[in-house]
Structure 1
Amino acid sequence: MRAAIYRRPGPAAEVLEVVEVERPEPGPGQVRVRVTTSGINPTDWKTRAGLTRRRPDGFQVPHHDGAGVVDAVGEGVAGLAVGQRVWLYLAGHRNRYGTAAEYAVVPAVRAVPLPDTASDDLGACLGVPALTAAHCLGGRPEALKGRTVLVAGGAGAVGHFAIQLAKHSGAQVVATVSSAEKQALAEAAGADHVVRYTEPGAAQRVLDLAGPVDRIVEVAPAANLELDLGVIAPRGTLSTYAAEETLTLPGGPLMSANVTLTFVLLYGLSAEQLADAIRWTSDALAAGALTALPVAAYPLDEVATAQDRVEQGFVGKVVLRMAAR
């Protein structure tokens, strides 16, 4: 099969190459998926660049997310069949075969049925962003009905699915963005209200539109903490999935309001937590409540350019589309 690989961390153009490798066979509890679309997340380029502690074992096929068709089933696998469309998540986690290839072999639990009503682009957009969003929202949709949710960065991938999952669960959703372009994306995702956090009085604007906020999904806690504390309701929860910088926390206001502060990294979730997030995402997908982000598509041979596009902050989702052979 043709696959993008890297053997050491470094700049995309220097370390990524597209080569022929042996097509892997699924072992017990695994499935092989013929990949049609590979989704790229920030975690993919950061790992390839060496910004995390993970290093290739010989070689690594990058990318965690994707969509495709089950091609072979290993011993002991139930609930998946050859020919079934699936979406993939965390394909490259502790696994050599990510989705930037014509085929990927993954634990069967990481291949989730993709309804016929959902496109491959949408399937490849899910994975890391949608499951992160679901866990940041508490993992269980019934707890959000009638609540108010603030989604910071409502035009991003996690923000997009946080808006849609919260709306599907019966929550009122307000999103914050920085520009007119991003406001249009957050509105298209279904946010009830969209506020420019760059404008004066943004916190008061949130309160005027939506009232105190029960749960916040936060992309930039250091930059947005003042706004968050200005709008969060007593006993509210602030969940952040992007807190790589040093945070200085005002203990008094957090304690006075009994705020719960949670940090979310998908790799570290328990099997039960992942199962809750997958169930919520799958239910919303089956109901037609989830939509694809704006997509920039590249062929496999342009994987380095595609990863660089993500690193440069493309608003939407960058994907690789595999050519049929």
Structure 2
Amino acid sequence: MKAVTYRAFGAAETVLQLEDLPDIAPGPGELRVELTYSGVNPSDVKARAGARAGVTELPYPVIIPHSDGSGVIAEVGEGVDPARIGEAVWIWNGQWQRPFGTAATSITLPAEQAVPLPEGLDLKQGAALGIPALTAAHAVFSGGDVTDRTVLVQGGAGTVGLLAVQLARWGGARVIATCASHAADRVRQAEADATLAYADGDLTEQILAANDGRPVDHIVEVEFGANCAVDTEVIAPNGRITAYGSAQQMTPQLPFYPLMFKSVTLEMMLVYLLPPVARRAAIKRIEHAAAAGALHLPIAEVFDLVDTAKAHHAVERGHRAGSILVRTGRD
């Protein structure tokens, strides 16, 4: 197989290299996927740069980056239904606690980590599911059904946020989303009921006004530390905050008593560690929403495998209008 690898932390153009490696035959319970696209996420870029919190040494001698991808099953190991050969699939956790991810023409991994491509989505969109869609699906529905509830999506124009807006809307919620003012049109196209500029000084009042003066039931939070004060003000009694990031303030102060006296459930989620039951529930939500035509996964740019370093730079620059992919095979 052709694979992009790195053997040290560092800048993308310095440490990433394209090389030939042998395909890995699937063992019991595994399968091998011939990959078509690889999805590049901020976590992949941080891992390559050595910028993940608490990680000071390369965990494996050789790493093929990226956890998300899509392709077609080419081989199966013992205990895996041979009828799956030829099935189009999307990948989750391709490089989580494993050395070899999806920045290659082939990947071998446990069979449950290759999920049949949902109806209505192609392989390009499938490579954009993994981390973003699973994060969004769990963050929106971690407290259960959202029908007739109000969901606030902080950071609604981001890759996860945009999917969260769509999934909450599909789930029957009233959706309020915050974003940068220049990205408001994109969030409106995702059918948020109200789109607010997060830089406005009166954001608390705007959120409450957008919900007819009432607090919100559930918050999907991309920057918990930066938004904690606003979240505390606008969350309803017995509400829920599911946070999947806090990059701007990594050690935030928690207003414990204001949250406690509203009996708020605060969840810190890491998509890689979703329990099997929660992951299966998130996958089902994604499948049903896709089949209903409710998911639009914008792709900002697609790079060739040899240009994977450029794909990493595109993620590092930020302000993307969609996912960054690497083409690893023929579509």
TM range (shorter): over 0.9
Structure 2 letter corresponding to 1:174 = I
Measured in 1, the distance between the counterparts of 2:299 and 2:89 equals: 21
Structure 2 letter corresponding to 1:105 = T
Alpha-carbon distance change, 56 to 301 in structure 1, aligned in 2, over 3 angstroms? farther
1:80-119 deviation line (CA, Å, top 9, x unaligned): 6111111111111122321111111121111111135212
Q: Secondary structure at the match of 2:84?
A: coil
Provide the residue aligned with 1:163 in structure 2. Answer: 165
TM-score normalized with structure 1 length? 0.94
Does the Cα contact within 8 Å between 1:140 and 1:280 map onto a contact in 2? no
Is 2:41 aligned against 1:22? no
How many residues are matched?
323
| 2:324 pairs with one of 299, 318, 323 | 318
Measured in 1, the distance between the counterparts of 2:276 and 2:75 equals: 24
Provide the residue aligned with 2:79 in structure 1. Answer: 76
Structure 2 letter corresponding to 1:159 = G
Is 2:302 aligned against 1:297? yes
Is 2:202 aligned against 1:201? yes
Q: Secondary structure at the match of 2:118?
A: coil
TM-score normalized with structure 2 length? 0.93
| 1:308 pairs with one of 303, 309, 313 | 313
Measured in 1, the distance between the counterparts of 2:319 and 2:308 equals: 15
Q: Which moved further from structure 2: 226-235 or 147-156?
A: 226-235
Measured in 2, the distance between the counterparts of 1:238 and 1:208 equals: 19
Provide the residue aligned with 2:102 in structure 1. Answer: 99
Does the Cα contact within 8 Å between 2:64 and 2:101 map onto a contact in 1? yes
Measured in 1, the distance between the counterparts of 2:82 and 2:252 equals: 44
Is 2:42 aligned against 1:39? no
| 1:250 pairs with one of 245, 255, 276 | 255
Measured in 2, the distance between the counterparts of 1:80 and 1:47 equals: 36
Measured in 1, the distance between the counterparts of 2:66 and 2:2 equals: 15
Is 2:266 aligned against 1:265? no
Measured in 1, the distance between the counterparts of 2:143 and 2:285 equals: 7
Q: Secondary structure at the match of 1:238?
A: strand
Q: Could you tell me the percent identity over the aligned residues?
A: 41
Provide the residue aligned with 1:214 in structure 2. Answer: 217
1:269 Cα deviation (Å)? 2.0
Measured in 1, the distance between the counterparts of 2:119 and 2:260 equals: 48
Provide the residue aligned with 2:2 in structure 1. Answer: 2
Structure 2 unaligned blocks of 5 or more? none
Is 2:240 aligned against 1:234? no
Does the Cα contact within 8 Å between 2:37 and 2:329 map onto a contact in 1? no
Provide the residue aligned with 2:136 in structure 1. Answer: 133
Q: Secondary structure at the match of 1:137?
A: helix
1:204 Cα deviation (Å)? 1.3
Measured in 1, the distance between the counterparts of 2:177 and 2:299 equals: 18
